[in-house]
């Protein structure tokens, strides 16, 4: 299962970090549409963020210290809603946690 942990600023609810880790295990490697969707969405959003720090390897993507500006808020909200939509369709393969 892919687990996504979203952290928000308690004052303004802006997303300040996200951690995406694990494997969906929906289909075999190279054919897994859940992994592909999560990867494409998270990489596209992460590449467009202004500032912040990203650490990644084959198992996880951790983006943190996201500056609280309007562009980043729109992007991270889009990431959250996109991942939540995928998680609704593939409950056994993707979990989005606010922590």
49: which residues sit within 8 A by CB, 6+ positions away?
63, 66, 71, 72, 75, 76
Spatial contact of 11 and 30, defined as CB atoms under 8 Å apart: no
What's the full length of the chain, in residues?
A: 99
* Count of domains for the chain: 1
Per-residue pLDDT of 71-92, as tens digits, reads 999 999 999 999 999 999 999 9
Q: How far apart are CA 19 and CA 96, in angstroms?
A: 10
Residue range(s) defining the domain that contains residue 93: 2-98
Spatial contact of 41 and 50, defined as CB atoms under 8 Å apart: no
Per-residue pLDDT of 43-55, as tens digits, reads 999 999 999 999 9
CATH number at residue 7: 3.30.70.1490
Q: By percentage, how much of the chain surpasses pLDDT 70?
A: 100
């Amino acid at each position: 299962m892919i687990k996504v942990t979203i952290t928000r600023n308690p004052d303004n609810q802006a997303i300040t970090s996200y951690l995406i880790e694990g494997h969906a295990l929906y289909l075999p490697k190279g054919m897994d549409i859940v992994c592909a969707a999560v990867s494409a969405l998270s990489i596209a959003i992460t590449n467009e963020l202004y500032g912040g720090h990203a650490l990644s390897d084959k198992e996880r993507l951790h983006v943190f210290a996201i500056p609280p500006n309007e562009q980043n808020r729109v992007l991270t909200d889009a990431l959250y809603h996109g991942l939540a939509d995928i998680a609704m369709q593939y409950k056994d393969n993707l979990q989005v946690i606010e922590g």
